[in-house]
């Protein structure tokens, strides 16, 4: 068979998180990308309203990143990170640590958000054991949370569809309530005033299991994949206080909020709350090469460094941890972010974004609109008896109209590359306004 014959056969590829049969009847093929646009197989320029999957923060086809990756493949294609090293891994870790507020001074490399989450959960458990608190084995997550698809991540995650068909999960996991409350907070711009007390649910869960049994709580600072749930003012600070009171580690899952999405380098900076561990991926390499990184505080790292010097302190790692090509991509991506001020750029355009997004209020089916930084969501009234169908129609119509959006449930989510210009913002909301008027 020729390569064209192979690529016309859509049967073999079992597509992730996709309605395979629907897609294969009417494929949406992307063949190229540059800056803010994809090129579709039928030759259209599709405006990227979602930075791929919330990851292409620097925009597509950036020459500096392409060059760094090409050079690295030729120079050092692979090097193990177990008992060996290569300079770019150390350079990248040091540079990342310098970007994070102290004491988040240590970096463990992974290949994805899911791996970052599992890594952080394992570090949390091992930390308490290293401190002699081996009974602290329970992990807490939050309803509607998304922490990737590993068994650790789906156990602490709170999206039922991602869990219910996969058996028993990790034992000892529990969840605090989510922060979504349309009765008080519909159409809030930015962080809701109402809802700091949702954090007190953590006290209830601690009372149930006892703090002596709880290792960590993981939350997304802004819960994105579930449909953009913006934390109420003061909520994350309160979670931090409660965790401190009970010696429970706080993990921020910044796989989406990291690398400039809120107008600060990390959500840690935006909310001025410092957790013990931070998980990242996506924007770390602007999506060019898979890579993730977990930031750990000095307190955690030091707790592992008491064993005899020739012993491995943490029995964890991946063949591709700190892969040289990924490190080169990440270093070049950080250069692009720095040279173009992209990690703070959103603070300049967030108001324009917010105004454009909220101009859709009053259009058919719209029951809520919410935003923070360069993230937006439009929640639609579900079609009775057919949840998700209306938003999926909107997704298809938007794609026909040269705009890529993402939908989750009946929510349209938006998170374009950070290089977006006002004209693109206008195009996104003009297109969506037309789409909302057309769908059933
Ligand atoms: N954590 C969060 C908050 C995410 O949004 C995602 C992906 O969207 C993940 C983890 C999983 O990342 P990956 O798909 O790279 O495994």
Instruction: Please give the domain boundaries of the chain with CATH numbers for all domains.
Output: 3-61+341-438 (3.90.1150.10), 67-340 (3.40.640.10)
When pLDDT is averaged across residues 378-393 and rounded to a whole number, the result is: 97
**pLDDT over 90 (residue 369):** yes
Closest approach atom of ligand 1 to CA 115: 16
Asked if ipTM goes beyond 0.95, one says yes
**pLDDT over 90 (residue 1):** no
| pLDDT recorded at residue 90 | 98
| pLDDT recorded at residue 119 | 98
Closest approach atom of ligand 1 to CA 225: 5
**pLDDT over 90 (residue 15):** yes
**pLDDT over 90 (residue 44):** yes
Q: Whole-angstrom distance between the N-terminal and C-terminal Cα of the chain?
A: 43
Dihedral angle over CA of 13, 15, 16, 21, nearest 10: -150
Partners of 219 in the β-ladder: 252
- Give residue 308's region: left, alpha or beta (phi > 0; psi -120 to 50): beta
| pLDDT recorded at residue 402 | 98
Token pair recorded at residue 21 = 């049969």
As for ligand 1, residues whose beta carbon falls within 6 Å of it are: 54, 112-114, 117, 146-148, 220, 224-225, 253, 255-256, 281
| Distance of CA 118 from the midpoint of ligand 1 (Å) | 11
**pLDDT over 90 (residue 399):** yes
Q: Which of 361, 201, 343 is nearest to 270 (CA)?
A: 343
| Distance of CA 395 from the midpoint of ligand 1 (Å) | 21
Instruction: Decide if 49 contacts 378 (C-beta within 8 A).
Output: no
What pLDDT, in 10s, does the model give residues 401-422?
Answer: 999 999 999 999 999 999 999 9
| pLDDT recorded at residue 45 | 98
406/352 Cα distance (integer angstroms): 21
| Distance of CA 60 from the midpoint of ligand 1 (Å) | 20
User: Between vectors from CA 424 to CA 440 and to CA 379, what angle results, nearest 5°?
Assistant: 35
| Distance of CA 17 from the midpoint of ligand 1 (Å) | 13
| pLDDT recorded at residue 345 | 98
Reported residue count of the chain is 440
What pLDDT, in 10s, does the model give residues 317-349?
Answer: 999 999 999 999 999 999 999 999 999 999 999
| pLDDT recorded at residue 233 | 98
Ligand 1 pocket: which of 219, 231, 282 to mutate (most atoms within 8 A of CB) = 282
| pLDDT recorded at residue 141 | 98
When pLDDT is averaged across residues 53-70 and rounded to a whole number, the result is: 98
**pLDDT over 90 (residue 145):** yes
Ligand 1 pocket: which of 114, 279, 290 to mutate (most atoms within 8 A of CB) = 114
Ligand 1 pocket: which of 116, 148, 283 to mutate (most atoms within 8 A of CB) = 148
Closest approach atom of ligand 1 to CA 117: 10
**pLDDT over 90 (residue 5):** no
**pLDDT over 90 (residue 227):** yes
| pLDDT recorded at residue 309 | 93
| pLDDT recorded at residue 362 | 98
| Distance of CA 43 from the midpoint of ligand 1 (Å) | 30
| Distance of CA 440 from the midpoint of ligand 1 (Å) | 31
What pLDDT, in 10s, does the model give residues 92-119?
Answer: 999 999 999 999 999 999 999 999 999 9
Instruction: Decide if 226 contacts 146 (C-beta within 8 A).
Output: yes
Closest approach atom of ligand 1 to CA 53: 8
Closest approach atom of ligand 1 to CA 55: 8
**pLDDT over 90 (residue 8):** no
| Distance of CA 146 from the midpoint of ligand 1 (Å) | 7
| Distance of CA 430 from the midpoint of ligand 1 (Å) | 29
Q: How many CB atoms lie within 10 A of CB 315?
A: 7
Ligand 1 pocket: which of 141, 146, 261, 267 to mutate (most atoms within 8 A of CB) = 146
Least confident of 36-45, 161-170, 177-186: 161-170
**pLDDT over 90 (residue 392):** yes
The reported pTM is 0.98
| Distance of CA 280 from the midpoint of ligand 1 (Å) | 8
| Distance of CA 1 from the midpoint of ligand 1 (Å) | 36
Instruction: Decide if 163 contacts 146 (C-beta within 8 A).
Output: no
Token pair recorded at residue 55 = 């990851």
| pLDDT recorded at residue 6 | 83
Instruction: Decide if 120 contacts 217 (C-beta within 8 A).
Output: no
Return the residue whose CA atom lies nearest to atom 1 of ligand 1: 147
| pLDDT recorded at residue 56 | 98
Cα torsion angle, 117, 55, 352, 430, sign: negative
| pLDDT recorded at residue 436 | 98
When pLDDT is averaged across residues 250-265 and rounded to a whole number, the result is: 98
Closest approach atom of ligand 1 to CA 257: 3
When pLDDT is averaged across residues 298-320 and rounded to a whole number, the result is: 96
Return the residue whose CA atom lies nearest to atom 6 of ligand 1: 148
175/154 Cα distance (integer angstroms): 12
| pLDDT recorded at residue 7 | 79
- Give residue 116's region: left, alpha or beta (phi > 0; psi -120 to 50): alpha
When pLDDT is averaged across residues 8-12 and rounded to a whole number, the result is: 92
258/374 Cα distance (integer angstroms): 12
Closest approach atom of ligand 1 to CA 220: 3
What DSSP designation does 39 have?
E
Return the residue whose CA atom lies nearest to atom 7 of ligand 1: 148
| Distance of CA 50 from the midpoint of ligand 1 (Å) | 14
SS3 326: helix
Ligand 1 pocket: which of 159, 229, 256 to mutate (most atoms within 8 A of CB) = 256
pLDDT band for 307, please (50, 70, 90 cuts): confident
Instruction: Decide if 166 contacts 154 (C-beta within 8 A).
Output: yes
Token pair recorded at residue 367 = 């029951």
| Distance of CA 147 from the midpoint of ligand 1 (Å) | 6
| Distance of CA 380 from the midpoint of ligand 1 (Å) | 24
Mean per-residue pLDDT of the chain: 97
């Amino acid at each position: 068979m020729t390569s064209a014959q192979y690529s016309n056969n859509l049967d073999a590829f079992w597509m992730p998180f996709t309605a395979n049969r629907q897609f294969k009847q009417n494929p949406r093929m992307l063949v190229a990308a540059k800056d803010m646009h994809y090129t579709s197989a039928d030759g259209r320029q599709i405006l990227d309203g979602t930075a791929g999957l919330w990851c292409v923060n620097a925009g597509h086809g950036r020459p500096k990143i392409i060059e760094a990756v090409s050079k690295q493949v030729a120079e050092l294609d692979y090097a193990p990170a177990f008992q060996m090293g290569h300079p770019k891994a150390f350079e990248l870790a040091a540079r990342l640590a310098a970007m994070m507020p102290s004491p988040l001074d240590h970096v463990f490399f992974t290949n994805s958000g899911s791996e970052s989450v599992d890594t952080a959960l394992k570090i949390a458990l091992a930390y308490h054991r290293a401190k002699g608190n081996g009974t602290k084995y329970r992990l807490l997550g939050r309803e509607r949370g998304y922490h990737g698809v590993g068994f650790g991540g789906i156990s602490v995650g709170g999206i039922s569809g991602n869990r219910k068909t996969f058996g028993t999960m990790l034992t000892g996991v529990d969840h605090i309530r989510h922060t979504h409350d349309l009765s008080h907070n519909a159409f809030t711009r930015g962080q809701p005033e109402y809802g700091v007390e949702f954090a007190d649910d953590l006290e209830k869960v601690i009372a149930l299991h006892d703090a002596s049994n709880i290792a960590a709580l993981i939350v997304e600072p802004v819960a994105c994949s579930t449909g953009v749930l913006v934390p109420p003012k003061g909520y994350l600070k309160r979670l931090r206080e409660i965790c401190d009171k009970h010696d429970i580690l706080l993990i921020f899952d910044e796989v989406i909020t990291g690398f400039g999405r809120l107008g600060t380098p990390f959500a840690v900076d935006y909310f001025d709350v410092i957790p013990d561990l931070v998980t990242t991926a996506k924007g770390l390499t602007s999506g060019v090469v898979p890579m993730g990184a977990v930031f750990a505080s000095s307190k955690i790292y030091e707790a592992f460094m008491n064993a005899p010097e020739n012993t491995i302190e943490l029995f964890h790692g991946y063949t591709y941890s700190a892969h040289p090509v990924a490190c080169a991509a990440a270093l070049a991506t950080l250069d692009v972010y720095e040279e173009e001020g992209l990690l703070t750029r959103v603070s300049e355009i967030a108001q324009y974004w917010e105004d454009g997004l909220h101009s859709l209020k009053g259009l058919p089916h719209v029951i809520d609109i919410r935003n923070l930084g360069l993230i937006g969501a439009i929640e639609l009234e579900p079609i009775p008896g057919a949840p998700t169908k209306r938003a999926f129609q909107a997704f298809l119509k938007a794609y026909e109209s040269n705009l890529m959006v993402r939908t989750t449930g009946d929510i349209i989510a938006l998170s374009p590359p950070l290089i977006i210009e006002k004209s693109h913002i206008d195009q996104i909301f003009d297109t969506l306004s037309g789409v909302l008027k057309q769908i059933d």
